[in-house]
Amino acid sequence: MTAKPAAAAARATVYGYPRQGQNRELKKAIEGYWKGRVTADALRQTAADRRRSNWQQLTDAGITEVPTGDFSYYDHVLDTSVMVGAVPERHRTAVSADALDGYFAMARGTQDVAPLEMTKWFDTNYHYLVPELGPDTVFAADSTKQVAELKEALALGHAARPVLVGPITYLLLAKPAPGVAADFQPITLLDRLLPVYAQVLADLRAAGAEWVQVDEPALVQDRTPADLNAAARAYREIGALTDRPKLLVASYFDRLGDALQILAAAPVEGLALDFTDSAASNLDALAAVGGLPGKRLVAGVVNGRNIWINDYQKSLTTLGTLLGLADQVDVAASCSLLHVPLDANAERDIDPQIRRWLAFARQKTTEIATLARGLAQGTDVIAAELAANRADLASRAHSAITHDPAVRARTAAITDADGRRSQPYAQRTAAQRAHLGLPVLPTTTIGSFPQTDELRVARADLRAGRIDAAGYEERIENEIREVISFQEKTGVDVLVHGEPERNDMVQYFAEQLTGYVATQHGWVQSYGTRYVRPPVLAGDISRPEPMTVRWTTFAQAQTSKPVKGMLTGPVTMLAWSFVRDDQPLGDTARQVALALRDEVNDLEAAGTSVIQVDEPALRETLPLRAADHAEYLAWATESFRLSTSGVRPDTQIHTHMCYAEFGDIVQAIDDLDADVISLEAARSHMQVADELAEHGYPREAGPGVWDIHSPRIPSTDEAAGLLRKGLDAIPAERLWVNPDCGLKTRGWTETRASLENLVAAAREVRAELAVDNG
């Protein structure tokens, strides 16, 4: 059947695009600037080149309206704080002295000034800098960046649409500034903030903007009546402005729920909605509120968060239905393409059968443009593309890669007993303490140590054939000896081998499991200049042979102290991969869990007494709507226990989480049944320790006392102060001392000094406890 063309030509657009460049040019320029090797002018030129290249790529692909303002040196929420003048008091001097250096100081901190807190952007692996606001916050508009980037695009001949983080989302993502009462609600500042947005919109209109996109993803979460009333009021007031461009209010990552009716009724010219995955119900909800008569609808039908090819026929069906619900229907990805790599065609080493199933940012823009043509001109004009798409989808559905009978049989045989330790925590903790013999307030690190240039060169030499496997292993052994020796001299109680052999905490395992595919150029921004290459989970998962036993046992042979085995948990293996979308996530998690269970059991058999299974993604993968939490948490916690429950009672199981809001998953943390959990806590001043105490968490915990995402070296007094604060919530016999996260991104100089101070702080507080108990 031939689809009829749309009444008006459908536009193809995106909400944002990867910032880094094909070879991570932006990352290299920024880090060069930090090290003094790149000038500010050279950095700005690299940034301008990246923006120009991105807009041209989009235009060449058939995108008819490009975004501006989505580009950032570090984080778009931090950019918004600058735009509205919400610079923390402690950073104002630096920002006034040099705007660029002050910007990076807010992101990274300095030796004397702490950075802004960092946490996950909704349920993604992107991190944003949390705005700090209080009753005394004074906003002031500074649209310099937004106007300049719009003018750049217009001067190059592009139809451009500036993108802003909306006022409701900005305030709902903010937190009380230091010294402000914890119950302060930043949303109460809305009346002060709206005039600033009015000024920015007026500035953008004067600069030539026809449309401005205002992102409100916070409205896809469960919101209180007060939040929804604030949204209604905000867009009534913004919509009533006379000196403004047309407004496109965008949401993504989930369904809008009650906020849809509010936005549909608001005096704005358009809405952008997600119609993929759990947000597909936006279609029925939009029909229920009477559609968007007289308005523009930008339909996110291409998944902007995963890397699988679009189902053209399914998307065209959705788009065809939407034609009757709005005056103008345009085609887009479901969210910014920031969350996917740049170009699948660069992956020459991936099996061609699998590569035909993949769509990175460049491929997704082609998909968007193809769907827009089909919607505007009828499906006859894209007949060849439709036929090729059907063949690619069928290839994936019937591939042996996606169906391994042995894996499926083992998964089907899982019983409830497989997910339970042989003894409850209250019994096994005594066996662990007797076996390990650790002091009160035991010290440890999270796993990785600095990844030096020498290690990167060794990996490159191995890939290039300049050294053989034996030569590479010798270099890794030498690094492990150094890491173990340093920890022993420093006085750390439970050691790690430092993970010098690992390129990434997910990719390292993915490369050794069947069903995973690694990329060479699939970089995605995690935060700032930190980019990761999420592997592609394409098929059924199994473990052909041990993955970590070789290096863990080598490290243990260098010391009499316990050395932790280090693994990445099943939820994080999914969350930090591009996971298959052709079966339920819980089924895939169980497959990964069984592979990890084999590894945990092999580590124990090789003499490892402490095994850490990291789950930093447990909170970030939590669905945005509370109605979806129970189902997710059931399979997520089950898969962790399935990984770890095959060990003896005296083997201590650790887990680790970082950079998320933990308060609403404390019960799930309890349900993991780990013996020890380490958590990020330094930037939030031990907030998570209080949350664990309020819940009555009964196990051991290590809230971090060293913020490793900042180059600052915490003093002994600073670490001891945080440790004492932790003791207010967690008794000494259950409190561990550790950094927030792994040390991979830090240098050896700061690592040595910081870890020495951490151990000194633990000794100082131990001495205080001995006096108190004496």
Task: Supply 313's token pair.
Answer: 């026929």
With a CB cutoff of 8 Å and minimum separation 6, the contacts of 768 are none
Query: How far is residue 489's CA from residue 268's CA, in Å, rounded to a whole number?
Result: 64
Question: Which residues lie closer than 8 Å to 337 by C-beta, 6 or more apart?
Answer: 14, 15, 16, 17, 18, 304, 361, 364, 365
Give the CA angle between residues 460, 466, 470 to the nearest 5°: 90
Question: Cβ distance 201 to 151 under 8 Å?
Answer: no
Sheet of 514-517, strands arranged across = 514-517, 536-542, 578-579
Task: Let me know: does 71 contact 30? Beta carbons within 8 Å.
Answer: no
H and E: helices and strands count for the chain: 28, 21
Total Cβ atoms within 10 A of residue 314: 13
Tokens read off for 233 = 């009021």
SS (HEC) of 617-683: CCCCCCCCCHHHHHHHHHHHHHHHHHHHCCCCCCCEEEEEECCCCCHHHHHHHHHCCCCEEEECCCC
Q: Measure the N-to-C terminal CA separation of the chain; round to a whole number of Å.
A: 86
- What are the tokens at 679? 């958590």
Task: Specify the residue for token string 């923390």.
Answer: 88
* Of residues 207, 274, 271, the one with CA closest to residue 235: 271
The single-letter code of the amino acid at 141 is: A
SS3 sequence, 692-760? Answer: HHHHCCCCEEEECCCCCCCCCCCCHHHHHHHHHHHHCCCCHHHECECCCCCCCCCCHHHHHHHHHHHHH
Task: Answer for the pair 600, 613: CB distance below 8 angstroms, yes or no.
Answer: yes
Quote the CA–CA distance of 238 and 12 in Å, as a whole number: 26
Helix (H) or strand (E) holding 153: helix 144-155
Q: Is the CB of residue 234 less than 8 Å from the CB of residue 214? A: no
Q: Residue written as tokens 């500034």?
A: 177
Residues 164 and 200: beta-carbon distance below 8 Å: yes
CA 573 to mean position of chain CA atoms: 13
Placement of tokens 């302060």 in the chain:
184
Tokens of 111: 């030796």
Token pair of 197 as six digits: 């947005």
How far is CA 747 from its chain centroid?
23
| Token duo for residue 26 | 């932006």
Using DSSP bridges, classify how beta strands 536-542 and 676-679 pair: parallel, antiparallel or unpaired.
unpaired
Nearest partner of 14 among 309, 213, 155, 209, judged by Cα: 213
- Report whether 204 contacts 163 (CB < 8 A): no
Given the residues 76, 521, 654, 709, the one annotated as active site: 709
Measuring CA to CA, which residue among 342, 307, 340 is closest to residue 53?
342
How far apart, in whole angstroms, are the C-alpha atoms of residue 50 and residue 56?
Answer: 10
Residue 345 neighbours by CB distance under 10 Å: 12
Task: Provide CB contacts within 8 A for 7, sequence distance 6+.
Answer: 323
Can 709 be counted among the known catalytic residues? yes
What is d(CA 711, CA 456) in angstroms, rounded to the nearest whole number? 21
**Closest C-alpha among 376, 253, 354, 254 to residue 309:** 354
Tokens of 58: 């989009």
Residues serving a catalytic function are: 709
